[in-house]
Chains A and B, each alone.
Chain A
Amino acid sequence: DAGVTQSPTHLIKTRGQQVTLRCSPKSGHDTVSWYQQALGQGPQFIFQYYEEEERQRGNFPDRFSGHQFPNYSSELNVNALLLGDSALYLCASSLGPSGNTIYFGEGSWLTVV
């Protein structure tokens, strides 16, 4: 039973570039959320996808966008990268959008230079 898988594990981008991060939810899960974790901080909620729609959004600018595909996998896109976007980006999945245990992937480390 595969857990939440994310790719790539590490990447380096230049300011102003765009990045796409990918996530496959745990088997049987249909809801995906994305979090940003800066060094030394707790993860911060970016948004949640269920039934291919964004259902909730945290306090992140429109440069952060996402998508969920019919197979429940998801992408996180960040445009016009800033140095401050350097962080660990975590994907989490659950069965249904409310009330069930949420599992996290190992994350994608993004460094913006």
Chain B
Amino acid sequence: GESVGLHLPTLSVQEGDNSIINCAYSNSASDYFIWYKQESGKGPQFIIDIRSNMDKRQGQRVTVLLNKTVKHLSLQIAATQPGDSAVYFCAENRSGDKIIFGKGTRLHILP
């Protein structure tokens, strides 16, 4: 069964505010996580990844936090823009590159 899952199916954020999308996983042996963004009608787009030897990783306007104690990770998007509207998936990369996806959170940007 799934080992990753998102807390909320939908998140609405005011344009310019920061967005935080949360995800939990169940397998304590999981060691490689990825966040994907999927816009309507397109394939998943790699955003950022993190391995279990780190607890934080930053990219351009995005930060991923990993809390191994409670098996939780989050994606933070700074200064959310209309182009950030999409479904966001947290995913686990199992050994051999089998990606296990959660159900996704749809991010709505309010004007």
* Interface residues, chain A, with chain B CB atoms under 8 Å away: 4, 31, 33, 35, 41-45, 48, 55-56, 58, 90, 92, 94, 97-107
- Give the chain B neighbours of A90 by CB distance below 8 A: 43-44
- Nearest B-chain residue to A3, judged by Cβ: B43
Interface-located stretch among B12-20, B61-69, B78-86, B91-99: B91-99
Min distance, Cβ B107 to any Cβ of chain A, angstroms = 15
CB distance from A1 to the nearest CB of B (A): 15
- Report the minimum CB–CB distance from B74 to chain A (whole Å): 17
Interface centre among B41, B44, B45 (most CB of A within 10 A): B44
Closest-by-CB residue of B relative to A35 is: B99
Cα–Cα distance between A105 and B45 once the two chains are bound (Å): 9
B43 touches A106 (CB 8 A): yes
Query: How far, in angstroms, from A69 to B41 measured CA to CA in the complex?
Result: 28
The answer to whether A94 and B97 touch (CB under 8 A), given A42-B89, A101-B49, is yes
On whether A42 and B97 interact (CB within 8 A), knowing A101-B46, A104-B43, A106-B43, the answer reads no
The 7 closest A-B pairs by CB, nearest first: A42-B101, A104-B43, A106-B43, A104-B44, A107-B43, A45-B98, A56-B96
With a 10 A CB-CB cut-off, give which of B32, B36, B101 has the most chain A CB atoms.
Answer: B101
Q: Are B103 and A41 in contact (CB under 8 A)?
A: yes
Complex CA distance for A35 and B44, rounded to whole angstroms: 11
Contact assessment for A99 and B97 in the assembled complex, using a CB-CB cutoff below 8 Å: yes
Given known pairs A101-B49, A102-B93, the reply for A43 and B98 (CB within 8 Å) is no
